[in-house]
Structure 1
Amino acid sequence: MIPSYSRMTNLLFWFLLAISLLAILLFEFGPEQRLNILATTELSAKAQDDRVHGGRSVTTLVGDEHRPAIDCQLREGYEFPFCELILTLSEPERGIDLSHFDGMRVKLRAEGGQPQIWRFFLRNYDPSYSRPGDDISHKFNEVMFRPNDYNVLQDVPLDVFAPSSWWVQQYNIPLAEQGADLRHIYAIELASGDRMRPGNYQLELEQLEFYGRWGKPGDFYRYLLMSWLAYGVLLFLMQYLLVGDKLRKARAARLAAEALSQSLSEQNRRTEEEARYDPLTGALNRLGGEKLLGELGEMPLSFIYIDIDHFKHVNDAHGHPMGDEVLKHMVSEVLRHCDALCRLVRWGGEEFVLVCLHYEQARAEALAERIRGALESYPNWPLGLKVTASFGVAERRGDPLEKTLKRADEALYQAKERGRNRVEVG
């Protein structure tokens, strides 16, 4: 079964991937954001001309906020005579952020004398160059409409806007601030060009709409990247916590095994009181073995079932006292190869069960083979006898101890059937 943390991280990965792909598709190919300036409720329109500088031009506002228009009577009398339509969107300090829009769709209707050149300004406020009480100090982002640009809908990319050169020179704007700035647009102005001849002109703003994505590409992909970085950090933390949890569990298991081993050692020192040990060999007797198994709970372990080959022949040929000596030597040699996690139980007669705590099958099989070889080559058997043993090994795999012990017994039976003096795994 997949751990819960893995399921959660997998689900989070696919969720984040799906959301990211959907967000990218919507951002790149979804419906664009639109801002219809002429439908803005706070929009106000007014006309202005060179009479404020002593000129003779007369500009009259003839439309309304939803379709503003001016009648321009351009007259000589001022060095640069002009007529102007001003659309105010907000207070300069507030403004509207148009920097994330891609372009504008604009339609101007021009009538009267030719040629007509109208300058289109997006006025931007910024404290770094805007001066209190000086409306001219607010940046003039400019494009210029020529005779062929009128009476048709024009699609104008916003990146073609550039600050007016006269404004840059007049206010001595540093290089770092000479680029277009559309972050706080508070007004839109249309002014007659410097080379327009005196005469009567009519200019109407029929349509003005900004369009673009629902946010700045840099910000969008930055947030997307930050989301994936957050996922990576979360995954790292979960892996870190998981490893820590595994280490804690392993440490707890080791401490539990050591505690159990110490408890068993203490019980070994009380053999006579608890009557759990075989007085002949010093191994746990059947009662002691059953008590041990009852105390193990769900602890992982392996059983090694040991049976001396042809032990009945030893008793019949040399007597039971000699058989007892063989058992004592055998137990001594077996325990010599075991560590503190192993407990030897005399299960009955010449049959022994070696309980190996926290031993997996391969480790238990290697121990059994090592003991088998040691018994086969043991030089101190009584009367110079040649004594061997058969072994059955079984690892507990979540099944009851009785079933594991039965598998070890069956493996021992196979070892006897296949010629004895061998190790079989059940």
Structure 2
Amino acid sequence: MKTSTRYLITALIILSLGLLLWQHYGMNRSLRIDFSNPAQFSAFDDRELGGASTASVQASKDGAIMHCQLNDKQHIWRFCGLAIDLGQGQKGVNLSAYDEMQLELAMQTASGSSLNVYLGNFEAYSNNKELISLKLHGTLVTTTPYRSTIKIPLASLTVPTWWLEEGFAPVYDPVARLDNIRKIALSTSDGSASGQYRISLHALEFHGKWISKTNLQTGLLAFWLLAALAYVLKSWLDAYRLAQIEQKKRTRAEQSHEKLAAKANQLQQKVMTDPLTGALNREGLSDFLLRVDLNGLSVLFADMDHFKRVNDGYGHAVGDAVLQQLSALIKTTIRKTDRLVRWGGEEFLIICPATSVTEAGILAEKLRTAVCASNWPADLSMSCSFGAAECQENEDFARTIERADAALYRAKAQGRNRVELAR
């Protein structure tokens, strides 16, 4: 290992340790809720559900004091509470980056010292009027009659079971979300006794880290993995560069050979392909027959009906366009294993390996129908006649073509635009 590499690794270790220590002792972020607007405080109680409890709030820039009188009423869950509005409309405060909530408050009660703390997240189904329409996340805390600070880990907040079971959300959604907190509520706990309650809220803060410990550790792990990968990659590149000199020599030789082979292939394609239609010519057919089993092979002999009239009446340019369109139509219809051959003029062969004459006839009928239904140059109406023959055992291929040609002749003699099978 090179000396420069050792220095770099040492520097990276020191940097990583420094970041971990900074995250532990620093990187602190905080959000203090501004109490300068008294209108953001409101009281709520069980009267909206038919209860008899009453609650009121006195707000100032230093906080808020809620006075509550819990009264019994049969079959009614008694409660009262203080709500703090953090936003307007559908827009709340994103608290997902914070770890802890701190409440500075005091609570004088008739009995007991527990208090429900809720954070309400504005969802698609929420409205701006009802606290209960927000997705609530809550926990139970213990208070004192004296002003003290209560710390609540935000990870301890859960969606209350009663809120889920009451169906305030259109779907059962127990997953906590703190990305759009619209309101915070402090409420008397379940089973609180009747009597007077006084909740004094003096400060509300949220604390967290600019980068969480998990995110920092994940980032450092990813960084070290990338650094290791970079080291391996650099070592490989160094070795690769040493091999490049010889490789370039071999590559040049191979490229020259490939260019020559490609040129030869292009010349061969030109020799074996009809330049007008892109179909095989007779030379290309001979080459194809060397690579295919003639047993069970069928041949379609196709001829455009009255093609001479097209050349005579519209010129050879239109005639060429008709032949090109016919070639394209046949190529898109036949199988990949089949081959189209321009036999001469407007005559084409379609070679169908492993195909019976009956199957070839079905293909010919499909092509005949397609020709009649196509839109041709100069608004021509074109048709095509077909003859089909299957290569018999030990039969010379030239004889198979003759029989397909004879079937085509019968199709022409019987009115054209039809398919005839060889006898």
Q: TM-score, normalised by structure 2?
A: 0.49
Q: TM-score, normalised by structure 1?
A: 0.49
